[in-house]
Amino acid sequence: MSLSYVHPSPESPWGTYLMQVDRVIPYLGSLAKWAETLKRPKRSLIVDVPIELDNGNVAHYEGFRVQHSLTRGPGKGGVRYHPDVTLEEVMALAAWMTIKNAAVNLPYGGAKGGIRVDPKQLSLKELERITRRYTSEIGIIIGPHQDIPAPDVNTNAQVMAWMMDTYSMNVGATATGVVTGKPLHLGGSLGRVKATGRGVFVTGREAARRIGLNLDGARVAVQGLGNVGSSAAELFAQAGGKIVAVQDHTGTIANAQGLDLADLMPHVKASGGVAGFQAAEAIDNEAFWDVPCEILIPAALEGQIGAERARRIKARLVLEGANGPTTQAGDDTLADRGILVVPDVICNAGGVTVSYFEWVQDFSSFFWTEDEINLRLDKILVGALKNIWDTADRHKITLRTATFAVACERILTARQERGLYP
Ligand code: GLU
């Protein structure tokens, strides 16, 4: 029986996730008996987040923290601030964290949080108040050994510093391990800010090598120029790639000769987005999906690539920097057209992998160099992707279903070995 409290559509994040689980069940053997576990979040907390605005009024916001699975370890996953956040979306994002953490074999379950708010409408002080109140409200289920939040859409190291401070004040001791993605002076890790984008690059580089695509001269289109998209674009450009189109919430720009990121990034910082950038042509948002390119990186939000856009995409390789950018119908269309997708649950796992390094460093109070971080990250992702690729070849399935197969075998074996309580 499906859950009574959500009503997923085939295009919605939770609906997409449920179909992804259904696809993997035939490859789970006797573990399939436990598969229903994956379709039910272990624990979902909905909180009211009231804050006093700068003008003296009181505003209320909806806050969520979903712990999808705690089978393999504490909950782990980011917190996003966005006006479209819903319980159902956070459930899917938490579930994808469970799969992602298991796919790279991190000793975590999966969790995610969010506040339904447009942070661009808040002052810095209001942002701090909403963060602190939200942290206090979810304080009953997070902790360095329970559930460890991190940055996601519209949250950053400063937000993590406020979360760490609020939690620490409430428990009466500095608890650096309660969140990752913190500033360096508060137990943060070198390499964490760019880790997700670096992971997109590393998995993309490996995938490109396997399909005989040369990164030198490859045309790259990027949707979303936040933390993930900008870091990935930078690394592809360094490897000789040409960034031919970029889309963000302000518009879409294209330049067949390649955009110069050294000029574009200061423009984005100063003006808030790509719109108005001189050394490029402004194109229609929908035309982004028709841009001739070899590599397409959706690095924004969910549900961007449905069947219709999937029919138009020109790329050979789609690297999912975002979580859940492709619907099941979109995925099937891309597969039918022979376009290779490196799925979110391995492609963007670099962020949480370095979050894990941060957490380990906080507990041991011994910090690694940036080279050590980047080398270990590279090694873990290359190894995980090879395992996934072998699984895909063995069963003749997509990389997404193969990633789910590798991850679900780990999760459900642990589930079976732990057994049911009582
Ligand atoms: N928000 C990131 C993700 O979706 C990172 C989560 C983490 O570091 O815990 O993977």
Could you tell me the distance, in angstroms and rounded to a whole number, from the CA of residue 78 to the centre of ligand 1? 5
| Residue to substitute in 17, 156, 352 for testing ligand 1 pocket (most ligand atoms within 8 angstroms of CB) | 352
Q: What number does the ligand 1 atom closest to the CA of 355 have?
A: 8
| Residue to substitute in 76, 81, 82, 97 for testing ligand 1 pocket (most ligand atoms within 8 angstroms of CB) | 97
Q: Print burial letters for 209-221: b (CB count within 10 Å at least 16), e (below 16).
A: eeeebebeebbbb
Same structural domain for residues 71 and 201? no
How confident is the model at residue 413, as a pLDDT?
98
Query: Does residue 408 lie within any of the structural domains?
Result: no
Give the residue ranges of the chain where pLDDT is below 70: none
Q: What number does the ligand 1 atom closest to the CA of 181 have?
A: 8
pLDDT in tens, 89-109: 999 999 999 999 999 999 999
Q: How far is CA 186 from CA 152, 158, 165, 174, 361, in A?
A: 19, 10, 10, 10, 12
Same structural domain for residues 80 and 146? yes
The single residue of 76, 100, 112, 194 carrying the catalytic annotation is 112
Structural domain that includes position 276: 195-347
Q: Which residues line ligand 1 (CB under 6 A)?
A: 76-78, 150, 152, 180, 323, 348, 351-352, 355
Listed in sequence order, the residues at least 6 apart from 82 whose beta carbon sits closer than 8 Å to its beta carbon are 114, 116, 117, 118, 153, 154, 301
Could you tell me the distance, in angstroms and rounded to a whole number, from the CA of residue 352 to the centre of ligand 1? 5
| Residue to substitute in 152, 164, 198, 362 for testing ligand 1 pocket (most ligand atoms within 8 angstroms of CB) | 152
Query: Does residue 245 lie within any of the structural domains?
Result: yes
Cβ neighbour number for residue 89 with a 10 Å cutoff: 26
Nearest 5°: the CA angle 392, 211, 402 is 15
Q: What number does the ligand 1 atom closest to the CA of 93 have?
A: 4
Beta bridge partner(s), residue 18: none
Query: Does residue 419 lie within any of the structural domains?
Result: no
Same structural domain for residues 235 and 311? yes
How confident is the model at residue 1, as a pLDDT?
77
Same structural domain for residues 314 and 202? yes
Instruction: Please count the structural domains in the chain.
Output: 2
Could you tell me the distance, in angstroms and rounded to a whole number, from the CA of residue 401 to the centre of ligand 1? 21
Same structural domain for residues 203 and 340? yes
Encoding tokens for residue 31?
A: 């573990």
Place of tokens 């690694």: 368
Same structural domain for residues 168 and 199? no
Query: Does residue 36 lie within any of the structural domains?
Result: no
Q: Print burial letters for 116-142: b (CB count within 10 Å at least 16), e (below 16).
A: bbebeebeeebbbbbbbbbbbbbbebb
Same structural domain for residues 137 and 202? no
Q: What number does the ligand 1 atom closest to the CA of 149 have?
A: 9
Could you tell me the distance, in angstroms and rounded to a whole number, from the CA of residue 391 to the centre of ligand 1? 25
What CATH number is attached to the domain comprising 321?
3.40.50.720
Question: For residue 118, is it left (φ>0), alpha (ψ between -120 and 50) or beta?
Answer: beta
Same structural domain for residues 222 and 307? yes
Place of tokens 């559930």: 147
Query: Does residue 386 lie within any of the structural domains?
Result: no
Same structural domain for residues 299 and 224? yes
How confident is the model at residue 150, as a pLDDT?
98
Domain boundary residue, one of 142, 173, 204:
173
**What does DSSP say about strands 281-283 and 251-254: parallel, antiparallel, or unpaired?**
antiparallel
How confident is the model at residue 127, as a pLDDT?
98
Domain boundary residue, one of 124, 143, 173:
173
What CATH number is attached to the domain comprising 126?
3.40.50.10860
Query: Does residue 82 lie within any of the structural domains?
Result: yes
Task: Please state the length of the chain.
Answer: 422
How confident is the model at residue 159, as a pLDDT?
98
Could you tell me the distance, in angstroms and rounded to a whole number, from the CA of residue 392 to the centre of ligand 1? 25
Could you tell me the distance, in angstroms and rounded to a whole number, from the CA of residue 292 to the centre of ligand 1? 30
pLDDT in tens, 308-342: 999 999 999 999 999 999 999 999 999 999 999 99
Tell me the residue ranges of DSSP E strands in 101-213.
110-116, 147-148
Same structural domain for residues 137 and 262? no
Q: What number does the ligand 1 atom closest to the CA of 348 have?
A: 10
Same structural domain for residues 160 and 252? no
Query: Does residue 388 lie within any of the structural domains?
Result: no
> Is 379 annotated in the active site?
no
Cβ neighbour number for residue 262 with a 10 Å cutoff: 9
Q: How far is CA 167 from CA 115, 172, 181, in A?
A: 17, 8, 15
Query: Does residue 21 lie within any of the structural domains?
Result: no
Same structural domain for residues 71 and 133? yes
What DSSP character marks residue 303? S
Domain boundary residue, one of 280, 312, 347:
347
Beta bridge partner(s), residue 59: 51
